[in-house]
Amino acid sequence: MCRALKCYFVFVCVFFLSGCGCEAIINRTAFDPVTTNAHAVQDIPAAAREVYIETEDHVRLQSFFVSGRPSSRLIIYFHGNAGNIHERLPELQNLSKAGANVLGVGYRGYGKSTGKPSEAGIYRDGRAAVKYAMENLGYAKDKIFLCGRSLGSVVALETARNNNFAGVILVTPLTSGADVLRAHGYTIAPLLVGDVIDNMKKLPEIVSPVLVIHGDKDEVVPWAMGEKIYAALHVPKKMVTINGGAHSDLEFVDSYLYHRSIAEFIRAYSSH
């Protein structure tokens, strides 16, 4: 079983325990952070710099600001539930080629960030990232695009609720933890999960344009979830399907379509 699939099974199965109120167990096992590497400064590309973002509850988030060339636009990137933001540096660099600078946000408990991950905690991380982008980097909200991949789609959508951002980019987004359980053959468990990790309930409060990118061979979060999110949105929107794309390889299966779609979306919804 691939790492992403294995991690996601752990993620959704542990959230089943939320029906028992086992918050401590959930917070210990629902996320799969990598914290062991020192991430030497000399390993960071020249176009990137390591920054630390402080949250409202005084957690410090290891993050990276990638500025390949001057741009009035910013992508705030929220990654999936495994690894850390340092591992995403190549992805952050590729995103910057879409015509925007990129702030890649590390969640609490990941990489060199302090704190411990939790659903409520990563929502605080999202709010802190926007505050940092506006106050420290000087970007207005209508110049900011939120990009969330897999679990990161939950953070992006939560952060976007009732906020007029330039746009929201969702890559392999899930509808809810309950739907993921159903997709993998569980029948009773979804009834007990409730609204844990529920993207669908956030959609009525999304007021920014949205781009959805999903692979039709996604073995972790089925393509139908991306389509369901897309159908439920009542804002300017576009959905791009990567034929043959699985959960973690979209930019490799069809690099041109993946990156062109993001670049075109940013150009279409950039205010002047």
Q: Which of 118, 150, 208, 248 is catalytic?
A: 150
Residue ranges in 184-254 assigned as alpha helix (H): 189-193, 223-232, 250-253
Residue 17 confidence (pLDDT) above 80: no
Domain 3-32+50-268 in CATH 3.40.50.1820: yes
Residue 149: beta bridge partners? Answer: 171
Q: Which of 79, 86, 214, 247 is catalytic?
A: 247
pLDDT reported for residue 39: 57
Q: Read off the pLDDT band of 270 (50, 70, 90).
A: confident
pLDDT reported for residue 13: 53
pLDDT, mean of residues 218-229: 95
pLDDT reported for residue 1: 41
Asked if 264 contacts 256 with a C-beta cutoff of 8 angstroms, the reply is no
Q: Read off the pLDDT band of 7 (50, 70, 90).
A: low
pLDDT reported for residue 22: 42
For the ranges 44-53, 69-78, 155-164, 182-191, which has the lowest average pLDDT?
A: 182-191
Active site residue 247: yes
Residue ranges in the chain assigned as alpha helix (H): 3-15, 23-29, 89-96, 119-135, 152-160, 177-183, 189-193, 223-232, 250-253, 255-268
pLDDT reported for residue 38: 45
pLDDT reported for residue 178: 77
Active site residue 150: yes
pLDDT, mean of residues 205-227: 96
pLDDT reported for residue 148: 97
What does pTM read for this prediction? 0.88
What distance in Å separates the CA atoms of residue 64 and residue 51, rounded to the nearest whole number? 6
Residue 123 confidence (pLDDT) above 60: yes
pLDDT reported for residue 130: 98
Q: Read off the pLDDT band of 269 (50, 70, 90).
A: very high
What distance in Å separates the CA atoms of residue 192 and residue 175, rounded to the nearest whole number? 16
Active site residue 86: no
φ, ψ dihedrals at 79, nearest 5°:
-90, 180
pLDDT, mean of residues 42-68: 91
Q: Read off the pLDDT band of 28 (50, 70, 90).
A: low
| pLDDT tens digit sequence for 125-167 | 999 999 999 999 999 999 999 999 999 999 999 999 999 999 9
What distance in Å separates the CA atoms of residue 158 and residue 203, rounded to the nearest whole number? 9
Sketch the domain layout of the chain as residue ranges. Answer: 3-32+50-268
Q: Which of 125, 179, 218, 254 is catalytic?
A: 218
pLDDT reported for residue 76: 98
Kind of pairing, strands 167-171 and 82-83?
A: unpaired
Neighbours of 179 (CB within 10 A): 22
Q: Which residues of 86-121 are buried (b: 16+ CB within 10 A; e: fewer)?
A: bbbbebbbbbbebbbbbbbbbbbbbbbbebebbbeb
Residue 228 confidence (pLDDT) above 70: yes
